[in-house]
Amino acid sequence: MEFLILRCHPRDTLPLQAAHPKLELLCPTTTLQVRRGPSRQRTTLTIPILPSFLFLPNPSSLPSRLPSKLHLMKRPHSTNVYATCTLNEISIMVTHFQTLTPSPNSPFSINSPVEITDGLLCGCTGIVTNIRTNGDITLKIKEHLGWQINTCIVNASVLRCL
């Protein structure tokens, strides 16, 4: 299945998906357990894997008008007018293949330079800013290859240390 890539402001990613159910926008997410409020009660927080990216299924049936906060993305250095991707390219980044256990043998540590080896952002390089035991690693992107992205969350299985 093919998806058209749409861009928005990072803070609008989840609200736009919820506000436009007819568009059937895909927004890959992950969850975090956080403590909130004066009682420090644990709550589950849903956050987007790729802040500012939404995916519209079946680009051949593009609506005549998109919501004002959504913009069609153009891939850099590509012959296609608009950027598209497959479900496989998206799902590779969010599938949890392994559970990480903090150990001295782990190839990843905070501030490690890494490269994404597979999936939608293949070839982008960044710095590890957070490591979670479910395999999610938050990256600050250093070289984005035209994607214009500052941060993302990817699974450890699609990273290699530089």
Residue ranges and CATH numbers for the domains of the chain are 2-161 (2.30.30.30)
How is residue 84 annotated by DSSP?
A: E
Model pLDDT for residues 144-153, shown as the tens digit of each residue? 777 778 888 8
- CA 150, CA 57: separation in Å to the nearest integer? 24
Residue 59 has pLDDT above 60, yes or no: yes
Contact 26, 39 (CB under 8 A): no
- CA 56, CA 5: separation in Å to the nearest integer? 6
Report pLDDT for 101.
47
Model pLDDT for residues 64-90, shown as the tens digit of each residue? 788 889 988 876 666 667 888 899 888
Residue 105 has pLDDT above 80, yes or no: no
Terminal C-alpha separation, the chain: 32
Contact 93, 28 (CB under 8 A): yes
> Which range has the worst mean pLDDT, 57-61, 95-99, 155-159?
95-99
Report pLDDT for 77.
64
SS3 letters across 95-154: CCCCCCCCCCCCCCCCCCEEEECCCCCCCCEEEEEEECCCCEEEEEEEECCCCCCCEEEE
